[in-house]
Chains A and B, each alone.
With several copies, the nearest count.
Chain A
């Protein structure tokens, strides 16, 4: 973890991570109070990945996301209140309540949407990359997916396609060790998803996904490569989700020691310590940031809670453009 970035950037990174964490804690709380319909897949614990990657992206760059997408939205710059409103099924949400937690999108910031079909976002990111190439801009597309998704056929077809056409796509595998109750070692005979890059002739890199600056640096390199038209990179971020997979999953399939070990590696805690140790920030500044973020979240919740549900008949709208 080196600190070559400006203080402003470092604060921005810290804030975004905190936003995601507090946001997810709040979603969990609301869920427990039965205020969130359906299911939720929390990003808490994996903040360094989305923030480290999106920290390198411009507003006009693209991302595609997954069922575990709140963090991606926030990291790319979505408004908290409209994310929260969508999760609560409100009309003011990004998708007018049609999408919910698993299908948030904000095209105004290049967030091309979350798909709940594991692996289905990967070729879509490739298509965004192809579009960039055909339109001849210097945008890039980042594509998030889990290690579980890396066993889907789409992973293979998509990365191969991006490789042969040298598309500006950054494939970001969030390896949180589990796909629901399934440990990676039971569904993959190799340790690193990044090693699969050799099958496509592109660079593959493993990074500590709980070290936001490590992720930032790896993504920076990949984004530069992509912008220069030198093709895609596969980055595997080793991380861990703090909660169960979804809803009320207690994640009993995870050994207690493993959970503790990873909790100790909490990306936010680690980054905070670094910021303090290096005197980038002092405790008071940290507290100030936490307060600000808390307030933001409260505001988002308030907005979402007070927003109306869509009218039932709106279900018939937006089938065709």
Chain B
């Protein structure tokens, strides 16, 4: 099968959906022809679909999402880009109080088919305001779906599902994933929400990981294989809805679970997954649950500092070894 990058996969999803449905349009800062998005995901789309449908905006995050909400409830399917995940903080009211709640508050009268794309993640030395992973905030907001694709295949399939859906989707990308290549079929496909993918089967320990951490978990699993430890890597692909059953099923098999996420540990994504297991599958556990996450610090700039806080293969391997 052909291989394309995560970035290209996202772009293909956007292009295909824009061709298919004239109500789909993009808006965000510098998503248009002059820049093509800070991470070049939307490059070339303005040339094909025009400046109206690939719309550069002022630096007004709150109004970008607000405008997307208004468009979504009046017949359009906006895909808004927030240039860096950290900046979603500026639009938190429009995301969490408006987009997520409109369907409910108004008694189901209207749908909000809105996608918010944004990159999270550290690793390129751009410090505290451009490196966070804040998925947990959005997971905590009922009414939103939260997608966390780790591969080009998932990125494309999930984005198409997001765009065609009837609900606001908070679509998390990761800076370090954009150049990563993977197999993506030529023919159309979708990846459903709420269905985890077993990225690697194993028998001894379950490692649940998302986004870029999936790749680190796979590297760790490979290395542990050499030491005779068989790791199952479960990628939830969407955090809301969360495929609890897939996680629990894996835990039933392995009796051990490590949860790896790039966000700050406290009250992060891994807390929720740990809590689900502690509530619903504790009897199958043969060891304490372990979380591998960033320590509770802002992301520092200097390379040695930054590397210190980002969870790595070694941390995953150590955690696995502590429980087997």
The count of residues in chain B whose C-beta lies closer than 8 Å to any C-beta of chain A is: 76
Interface-forming stretch among B92-100, B216-224, B245-253, B272-280?
B92-100
Whether B287 sits at the interface, judged by CB under 8 Å, is: no
Quick check: is B103 within 8 A (CB to CB) of the other chain? yes
Could you tell me the distance in whole angstroms from the C-beta of A156 to the nearest C-beta in chain B?
8
Of the candidates B65, B74, B309, the one whose C-beta lies within 8 Å of that of A112 is B74
> Given the complex, which residues of B lie within 8 Å of A120, measured CB to CB?
66, 93-94, 97-98
Q: Which of A134, A158, A180, A312 contacts B71 (CB 8 A)?
A: A134
CA distance A97 to B109 in the complex (A): 12
Question: Known contacts A94-B109, A112-B73, A124-B70; is A152 also within 8 Å of B308 by CB?
Answer: no
20 contacts between A and B (CB under 8 A): A39-B125, A39-B126, A95-B301, A97-B107, A97-B300, A98-B301, A98-B305, A102-B127, A115-B97, A116-B130, A119-B59, A123-B65, A123-B70, A126-B63, A127-B66, A130-B76, A182-B30, A310-B302, A315-B295, A319-B104
Most chain A CB inside 10 Å of its own CB: which residue of B65, B76, B109 = B109
Q: Are B58 and A99 in contact (CB under 8 A)?
A: no
Q: Which partner residue on chain B sits nearest A249 by CB separation?
A: B35
- The residue in chain B whose Cβ has the minimal distance to the Cβ of A93 is B107
B47 to chain A, nearest CB (A): 14
Residue B190 lies at the interface, judged by CB distance under 8 Å to chain A: no
Q: Are B34 and A182 in contact (CB under 8 A)?
A: yes
Q: Which of A162-200 contact B (CB under 8 A)?
A: 164, 179-182, 186-188
CB contacts (< 8 Å) of B93 on chain A: these are 117, 120
Taking CB atoms, residues of chain A closer than 8 Å to B300 are 97-98, 315
Whether A142 sits at the interface, judged by CB under 8 Å, is no
Q: Return chain B residues, CB-CB under 8 Å to A38.
A: 124-127, 301
The docked-state distance in angstroms from the alpha carbon of A113 to that of B67 is 14
Check A124 against B66 for contact (C-beta < 8 Å): yes
- In the assembled complex, the CB of A158 is this many whole angstroms from the nearest CB of chain B, namely 5
Q: Which of chain B's residues have a CB closer than 8 A to the CB of A188?
A: 58
CB of B69 within 8 A of CB of A123, answer yes
Closest residue to A119 on the B side, CB-wise? B59
| In-complex Cβ contact of B105 among A95, A125, A152, A153 (8 A) | A95
Which 4 pairs of residues, A with B, have the shortest CB-CB distance? A127-B70, A123-B66, A100-B301, A89-B302
Shortest Cβ distance from B192 into chain A, in angstroms?
Answer: 14
- A residues 136-171 near B (Cβ < 8 Å) are 141, 148-149, 151-154, 157-158, 160-161, 164
Q: Are A123 and B112 in contact (CB under 8 A)?
A: no
Chain B residues contacting A99 (CB-CB under 8 Å) are 105-107, 127-128, 301
Set of chain B residues within 8 Å of A319, measured between Cβ atoms: 103-104, 142-143, 296-298
A-chain residues with CB within 8 Å of residue B303 when the two chains form the complex? 37, 89, 309
Report the contact-size class of chain A (Cβ under 8 Å from the partner). 35 or more
**CB <8 Å contact, B30 and A315:** no
- Asked if B228 is an interface residue, CB under 8 A from chain A, the answer is no
Which residues of B have CB within 8 Å of A313? 308
Which residues of chain B are within 8 angstroms of A253 by Cβ–Cβ distance? 34-35
- Chain B residues 161 to 207 lying within 8 A of chain A, measured CB to CB, are 166-167
Contact of A182 among B29, B62, B110, B130 (CB under 8 A): B29
Query: Given A97-B305, A130-B67, are A318 and B127 also a contact pair (CB < 8 Å)?
Result: no
Contact among B59, B67, B87 with A126 in the assembled complex (CB-CB below 8 Å):
B67
Nearest CB of A to B35, in Å: 4
Q: Which residue of B lies closest to A308 (CB)?
A: B304
B52 within 8 A of A: yes
B23 contacts across to A, CB distance below 8 A: 134-135
Is A314 touching B94 in the complex (CB atoms < 8 A)?
no
List residues 92-113 of chain A with CB under 8 A from any CB of chain B: 93-103, 105-107, 112-113
Whether B308 and A315, one on each chain, are in contact in the complex, defined by CB atoms closer than 8 angstroms, is: yes
User: Is A311 among interface residues, defined by CB-CB distance under 8 A?
Assistant: yes
Interfacial residues of chain A within 266-321, with CB under 8 A of chain B in the complex: 309-321
| Interface contact B143-A320, CB-CB below 8 Å | yes
Q: Assess the B74–A128 pair: CB atoms within 8 A.
A: yes
| Chain B proximity of A41: nearest CB distance (Å) | 11
A123 touches B94 (CB 8 A): yes
A68 close to B (CB within 8 Å)? no
A62 within 8 A of B: yes
The chain B residue sitting closest to A88, CB to CB, is B302
Residues 60-107 of A contacting B (Cβ, < 8 Å): 62, 64, 89-90, 93-103, 105-107
Residue A118 lies at the interface, judged by CB distance under 8 Å to chain B: yes
> What 15 new A-B contacts, CB under 8 Å, besides A102-B301, A117-B87, A318-B103?
A37-B302, A98-B300, A99-B106, A100-B301, A127-B74, A131-B70, A131-B74, A132-B74, A135-B23, A148-B59, A157-B63, A181-B30, A312-B308, A320-B103, A321-B111
